[in-house]
Chain A
């Protein structure tokens, strides 16, 4: 079983739509969780950290369910500029680096 699994998509949605991405991780000792965004031929950029209590940043809401080892990202009122690949990222324990899921591709059209 892969450490971090995501539905690769692509998700094709119209502007204004709400879209949700899911991610599962296999290591129950995982400590830190993130969503990164990567545009084509660019580097990954941190979108938001994910906390157990859930957190929101504008149109973006992230949730973590430790019992189910499940992470989600909700994007409301999608914009054309949201088109990118969204990477679910987990840090397993202190002293180790980030582990990336394969990414979910989002395409928002007008």
Chain B
């Protein structure tokens, strides 16, 4: 299995809703990442988990809450989002965040619309 699976593929939520994005990989990768990508912009790093511990939080607002229940799963909990949070949310994994030379495998993303 060489894939990163993200669910749901599309999500529309109101500003008062609570929802979660899910990401799963079975490649034995020990680093997992959340990126946010707006239209015609490059992906921007949000969070890095290394060996199930949060190692980087790029000053992301607290309305985004990551969780890594185990080495194969990564969640992103969403609460009280704003319309400007609408974007493609990409999950990725790699062998180890500390190793140079490893590319990432990206999931196909969740396209989020906040109304």
| Interface of A toward B, CB cutoff 8 Å | 31-32, 34, 36, 41-46, 49, 87, 91, 94-103
Contact = CB atoms under 8 A, between A and B. Distances in A.
Given A32-B101, A45-B106, A94-B98, 16 more contacts: A32-B100, A34-B103, A36-B103, A43-B106, A43-B107, A43-B108, A43-B109, A44-B106, A49-B103, A87-B42, A94-B99, A96-B97, A97-B33, A97-B45, A98-B45, A102-B42
A49 B103 CA distance: 7
B101 A49 contact: yes
B43 interface: yes
B15 interface: no
Interface in B32-55: 33, 41-45, 48, 50, 55
A32 B103 CA distance: 9
Nearest to A100: B42
Given A43-B90, A95-B55, A103 B42 contact: yes
Interface of B: 33, 41-45, 48, 50, 55-56, 88, 90, 97-109, 111
19 contacts: A31-B100, A36-B103, A42-B108, A43-B107, A44-B90, A45-B106, A46-B104, A46-B105, A49-B101, A49-B103, A95-B50, A95-B55, A96-B97, A97-B33, A97-B45, A97-B56, A100-B44, A101-B42, A102-B42
A45 B50 CA distance: 21
Contacts of A49: 101, 103
